[in-house]
Amino acid sequence: MTMHAMSAIEPTSPPPGVLAIRADNWRLAIVAGLALSIFAALTLPASVSFWVVGVAAAMIAAAFVVNAYRRRYYGGLLVAPAIAVLFVMNIFPLLWSLGLSFFAYQSNQQSIRFVGLNNYIKVLTNEIAAPGNWSALVNTALFVVLTVSAQMMVGFLLAMLFAKQFPLRKYLLILVLTPMMLSVVASGVFFTYYYDPTFGILSYVMNAITGGQFILMDSKAGAVAGIVFADAWMWSPFVMLLVLAGLVSVPKYLYEAAAIDRVSAWRRFWSITFPYIRGLLMLALLFRTIEAFKLADLVILLTKGGNDTMTISYHLIRIANEQNKTSEGAAISYVMLFMVIVLTNLYLYLANRRNQES
């Protein structure tokens, strides 16, 4: 790990070597702290290892602050509180489970032993365990593609509707924003009602039209459509809000200039409007993709994974929580993390390339 703080003001003294034992040598503190933490988390009982990790974190933090203060590395000082909270609440638990993924451990049993990469090999290739993982991954990919593109499209179209100023805009906008404020439990449970073949509105309407018995959720296509519709309905407003913010930030005189220059609507969109919303679209895409990978609650509520709608995140809940196969779950989650990282990096790479081209 290399990290070198820069500042507008030159450092007042040279930074210490990595191995120098000084109060401001945060590099050594991080290395030592991490090593100590991982060691403690894996070997000592939880109640002891927590304190070891706490001490390590405090040591790193102290070294960090002393160093930053001495050299006026304001960047480090500013970032430190957030990193500290993230480290304790998020990064440490993540490292803990990363560590566990190399052990055979079930949380409801008291034994633990090191197995190296066996968990990963198991979740990816084992005759019994792997097919479930792979099909859940394929389904997840399907959901990510469908729900994210649906959200991006619907969100974009809604934003276009609201781009202009018109009477009552404010009141209509809040109506469209409301779905994302609902709790997933409530909206998911109500979608089971909307889709219910006996009581639901959808079947009532469809039956009245076709005269038959309409059952949305009895096929994979229907079940996927039902889940994607509910998810996209809830989260398109998120995309819309970001896109709308981009749209309203386009200066009006650019559109006037385009009118004077007799620019076609198509060209106007791509050369003027799109550059203003591209960054926001990317942010929306990034966060919605990450969330779509975690899609589980709606699946649990609407299909319980039936009709081949099992997602990796729900699968993970079953493995890690219901069946207590903690380390196997950790391995699956890190495989999943790897995929999300690859995908998001691909987005960012493409976005940056586009930036540099234009």
Partner 1 sequence: MAYGISIWERLGIRKSSGVSEAGWGHTAFVALISFIYFLPVLFIIFTAIKPQGLALSVPPTLSPTSLLGLIPEQFVFTPTLENFGSVFSRVMTAGSQPEATGFDRFFLNSIVIATASVVLALIFGTLAAYGFSRYPLKGNDTYLFIILTTRMLPAIVVVIPVILMFRTVGLSGSYLGIILLYTAFNLAFTIWMMKSFFDELSTDVEDAARIDGSSEVKVFFKICLPQVVAGLAATFVFGLILTWNEFLFALLLTGPDTRTVPVAMNQAVSSGGRGTDWTLLAAIETLFLIPVFLVTFFLQEHLLRGVTFGTVKK
Partner 2 sequence: MSMSRKIKGAVTAAGVVASLVAVNPTFVRAEEVTLTMAVPDWPPTRIMKKFFDEQYKPKSGNTVKLDVDFIPWPDFYTRVNASLTSGEQKYNFIVSDSQWLGAFVEGGYFRQINDLLDADPDFMKTFMEIHPNPLNAYATYPHKSTNYYGFPQFPDVLVNFARKDVLCHEAEQASYMAKYNKKLPCTGEELDAMTWDDFNNVGEFFRRKKGEMLAGKPADDDFYGIAFQAGKSYDFSSMQINGFIWQMGGDVWDETKVPNGQAEGVVNSPEAVKALEKYLNLIDYMPPVAKTGTMDIFKSDELFREGKVAMNIDWIGLGEASLDPKSSKVSDKLVVGMMPGTMGADGKMVRWSNIGGQPFVLTTWTTPQQTAEAVEFVKWWLSADIQNQFAAGGGQSAIKSVYSDPKYVTYRPWNRAWAASLDWQKDVWHVPQFFELLTQQQDQFDLAITGKQDAKTTLDNIAKFQQSLLTEAGLIQ
Partner 3 sequence: MSTIEIRKVTKAFGEFIAVRDADLSVAAGEVVCLLGPSGCGKTTTLRMIAGLERATSGDVVIAGQRMNDLSPQKRDIAMVFQFYALYPALTVRENIAMPLYHEKLSSSEMASRVSRVAEILHLREILERLPGQVSEGEKQRIAVARAIIRDPNCFLFDEPLSRLDVELRHSMRGQIKAVLSNLSKATVIVTHDQLEALTMADRIAIMRDGLIEQVGSPHEVFAKPDNVFVASFIGTPQMNLIEVQFKDYSSGKATVTFDQQDVVISVNPGVARLRPGKVTVGVRPRAFSVVPNGTVDAIGAMAELIEPMGAETLVHARTVTGSDIRVVVPREMKVKPGEALHLVPDPAQTHIFTDDGRAVRA
Structure tokens at 90: 């998020």
Cβ contacts of 291 within 8 Å, gap of 6 or more? 235
Contact between 286 and partner 1 by CB under 8 A: the answer reads yes
Our CB check for partner 3 shows the closer of 258 and 319 to be 258
Which one, of 272, 191, 257, 250, lies nearest residue 225 by Cα?
191
Question: In 3-state terms, what secondary structure has residue 262?
Answer: coil
CB of 46 to partner 3, least distance (A): 54
Alpha-carbon gap, residue 272 to 252, rounded angstroms? 11
Alpha-carbon gap, residue 2 to 4, rounded angstroms? 7
Alpha-carbon gap, residue 330 to 99, rounded angstroms? 9
Cβ contacts of 81 within 8 Å, gap of 6 or more? none
Contact between 251 and partner 3 by CB under 8 A: the answer reads yes
Candidates 12, 113, 127, 167: give the one binding partner 1 (CB under 8 A): 167
Candidates 14, 253, 322, 356: give the one binding partner 3 (CB under 8 A): 253
With contacts defined by CB under 8 A, how many residues of the chain interact with partner 1?
121
Candidates 259, 337, 341, 350: give the one binding partner 3 (CB under 8 A): 259
Residue 75 near residue 132 (C-beta atoms within 8 A): no
CB of 132 to partner 2, least distance (A): 9
Contact range with partner 3 by CB under 8 A, out of 125-133, 135-143, 222-230, 266-274? 266-274
Structure tokens at 231: 């998810």
Contact range with partner 3 by CB under 8 A, out of 23-31, 238-246, 253-261, 338-346? 253-261
Cβ count within 10 A of residue 6: 8
Cβ contacts of 248 within 8 Å, gap of 6 or more? 163
Contact between 235 and partner 1 by CB under 8 A: the answer reads no
Alpha-carbon gap, residue 119 to 103, rounded angstroms? 8
Cβ count within 10 A of residue 352: 11
Candidates 128, 209, 265, 342: give the one binding partner 1 (CB under 8 A): 265
With contacts defined by CB under 8 A, how many residues of the chain interact with partner 3?
18
Residues numbered 33 to 52 that lie near partner 1 (CB under 8 A) are 41, 46-47, 50-51
Site string for partner 1, 296-325 (x = CB under 8 A): xx---------------x--xx--xx----
Contact between 351 and partner 3 by CB under 8 A: the answer reads no
Pick one of partner 1, partner 3, partner 2, none as the site partner of residue 209 (Cβ within 5 to 8 A by kind).
Answer: none
Pick one of partner 3, partner 1, partner 2, none as the site partner of residue 2 (Cβ within 5 to 8 A by kind).
Answer: partner 1
